[in-house]
Structure 1
């Protein structure tokens, strides 16, 4: 398998090189040169695999044996040994047509752990094998930062710097990042919102001299390995529901998303052959992606802080990957559209492409009260406590799924991470001991204004210390 850029100006490169490049050197996003097709017979073979075995099977189509099988097996086993559930991503039945895929059993209680525990292990492996210094740089709307830090804290040969928007993540998310005392971790609390942080990150990766001189590597979902690791749980969830229902019919997946990465992983699984009916995109009041799916117009609006802060995103990092596929893998057209977006702040796709989008996707922007009402409803009716992001997924499923359709909705975080919203529902929850302990730990972070110049100064000082 070789990797190319959505903008066409990166030569075909291998798996490890794609992992290390992160953002394409031409400003595009890396994708596989072809998407492998998994046969129905092979899917049948995979149904009884453990989660770790399934990771190895799926990765085998993408890694070109660049990592010896025994080494890869150890990386996978070490990555998921930290999870609190032996299934890694268990599936719970909420009612006859709705299943919940629990993705929060990793060390930071969020779905990001599933990819970032593996990526942390892989960065450590590459650093050691190539005797290479690795400086990880990322932006977070809350969960990516904590998961990425947890994956590499204290690791030799690696430093990690994470930008988060000051005051716009939950208190638990902030504590998970800023109570880490390891010297290879830098938290920058940035005045602005997540889109401001993400823009600065992309600009720094696009500066090829700065990227090379500072050994930058990406942890955000601009890195294709992050997407690939998340693709696995779509297959795993489908197999678990098939075993519970006895039916191999296509299923819907409802996905709370702001950066389009998690739902793009589902799209990749579908393209590989997983029987998926609709991918239901759940968002909040920052509903640029809902408008795109309904109207074919991608245009950021005014930023709004919501009860689901990890989805408070206007410019979705992974949207370009989907554009590349829905517009027939035409890099020249992607370059033109992305240049136009940078200039005009808007992308409009033609009617025939929109028709293809609407065959594959549905979307629903969940408003604030609707989110809280969903949390209360499911707690009352089923006894299950949803976090506000997972509640957006369930609410979108309730609106967009057909009456007889089975849907798997992704539960992306533990409710303890977002007690601000849970408390508004009049619900008192018991925090897991790992989260409760955070409130008594000292914090360590550096507050900066939103200027790239100040952030660059902090990064250079940290990486060169």
Structure 2
């Protein structure tokens, strides 16, 4: 498996090269040169796998055995998930009226980023030990990424980590996670499209808070920065630049590196891009979007508790609000007619 830059003009690299490069040398993000296609039989077999088993199957498609032997890969993934609080790693809670919540918070820091970063750290350490090298990882975070990144590499002899966090804009528990349980290698300073393309039969819904650059891009093709970042109850979503949009542009444009490069370079110059009509059509066909206010987040948390005695975090409530919105359109919550 080879990886190429979304903007072209960079040599292709293997998984190890992409892992250690981050951004491509001349800009752009690394993506698989070709996506494996999943047939119906593969999806049927995978549906019976545990979450760790599914991760092993997926990773084997993107990491060649010449880089990490199959047994080593499986061991790394088992080690990555060994500290999760439930054996399943993730848990699906089936609630009333068709609401299913996939719980991604059973990792050490209670953040969904534990799922990816614990594996990333294992892969980094594997290659660093093999090459007898040492690296410094620099992380910028609005909260959840920082604590998950710190936890994933704590005590790793080949990795130092520096985390930049916006003082006063993280939750108290996240700030404490990042500043009170440190090791010698930790330094903190204040401060689904792929799956769809591989053949998974899903329609994606992107639900965001009032920082709505993704929503505006999907709805109107308006990929531009707002004047400011609006603080919300779902603070991990308080961002201006959703960098993964570059990968989505590349995927939906048929791997058109020239178009992707032109769009992103214009965005970097002007902070404002009007997505081409054809690409916007493909985006809006593949993805539905919604933007919700803090009031809606609060109402959603309350409603889920009243109906299920199940407490949502504000970020999950952003997504669940879309479910309630669609359900209420099909079946109004309060029946009957009112007199005029």
State the TM-score, normalized to the length of structure 2.
0.93
Residues in 1 aligned to 2:242 and 2:74: alpha-carbon distance in whole angstroms: 32
Q: Which residue does 2:301 correspond to in 1?
A: 375
- Equivalent residue for 2:223, pick from 272, 277, 298: 298
After superposition, residues 173-212 of structure 1 pair within 5 angstroms as: 173-190=174-191
What are structure 2's unaligned runs of at least 5 residues?
332-340
Q: Secondary structure at the match of 2:160?
A: strand
Change beyond 3 A, Cα 1:155–1:137: same
Mapping for residues 181-330 of structure 1, pairs under 5 Å = 181-190=182-191, 266-276=192-202, 278-301=203-226, 302-330=228-256
2:166 alignment counterpart: 165
Q: Distance in 1 between matches of 2:327 and 2:308?
A: 19
Comparing 147-156 and 326-335, the one that deviates more:
326-335
Query: Per-residue deviation at 1:95?
Result: 2.4
Offset, 1:267:
1.4
Specify the SS of the correspondent of 1:391.
helix
Could you tell me which residue of structure 2 aligns to residue 89 of structure 1?
Answer: 90
| Aligned equivalent of 2:267 | 341
Look up the match of 1:387.
313
2:8–2:257 Cα contact (<8 Å) kept: yes
CA distance in 2, matches of 1:51, 1:316: 27
Alignment match, 1:445: none
The residue matched to 2:95 in structure 1 has which SS?
strand
In the other structure, the counterpart of 1:30 is: 30
Question: Contact (CA 8 Å) 1:123, 1:134: kept in 2 or not?
Answer: no
Instruction: Note the C-alpha offset of 1:396.
Output: 2.0
**Deviation of 1:399 (Å):** 2.5
1:331 aligns with 2:252: no
Deviation of 1:336 after TM superposition, in Å, equals 1.5
CA distance in 2, matches of 1:122, 1:2: 17
Give 3-state SS (helix, strand or coil) of 2:62's partner. Answer: coil
Contact 1:91 1:100 in 2 (8 A): yes
Query: Which of residues 275, 279, 284 in structure 2 aligns to 1:353?
Result: 279
* Equivalent residues of 1:97, 1:404 under 8 A apart: no
Rounded to whole Å, the distance in 2 between the matches of 1:272 and 1:21 is 24
1:208 maps to none
Structure 1 Cα separation of the partners of residues 37 and 277 of structure 2: 28
Task: Indicate the SS of the match to 2:93.
Answer: strand
* Aligned partner of residue 36 in structure 2, secondary structure: coil
Question: How far off its partner does 1:171 sit?
Answer: 0.4
SS at 1:389's partner residue? Answer: helix
SS in 1 for 2:133: coil
User: What is the CA-CA distance between 1:173 and the residue it aligns to?
Assistant: 0.7
Q: Which SS does the other structure have where 2:268 is aligned?
A: helix
The alignment covers a number of residue pairs equal to 329
Q: SS where residue 61 of structure 1 aligns?
A: helix
Equivalent residue number for residue 59 of structure 2: 59
Report if the CA contact (8 A) 2:142-2:235 is conserved: yes
Q: 2: CA distance between counterparts of 1:57 and 1:404?
A: 38
Runs of at least 5 residues in structure 1 that lack an aligned partner in the other structure: 191-265, 406-465
Separation (CA, whole Å) in 2 of partners of 1:334 and 1:78:
37
Tell me the equivalent position of 2:335.
Answer: none
Tell me the residue number matched to 1:102.
Answer: 103
Q: 4+ residue runs of structure 1 moved beyond 6 angstroms?
A: 401-405
The answer to whether the 8 Å contact 1:280/1:397 transfers is: no
CA distance in 1 between partners of 2:303 and 2:83 (Å):
32
Partner Cα separation in structure 1 for residue 69 and residue 245 of structure 2: 33
Cα-Cα RMSD: 1.5
Residue in 1 that maps onto 2:71: 70
Contact 1:371/1:395, CA 8 A, preserved across alignment: yes
Contact 1:137/1:160 (CA < 8 Å) preserved in 2? yes
Q: In the TM superposition, what is the alpha-carbon distance from 1:326 to its structure 2 partner?
A: 2.1
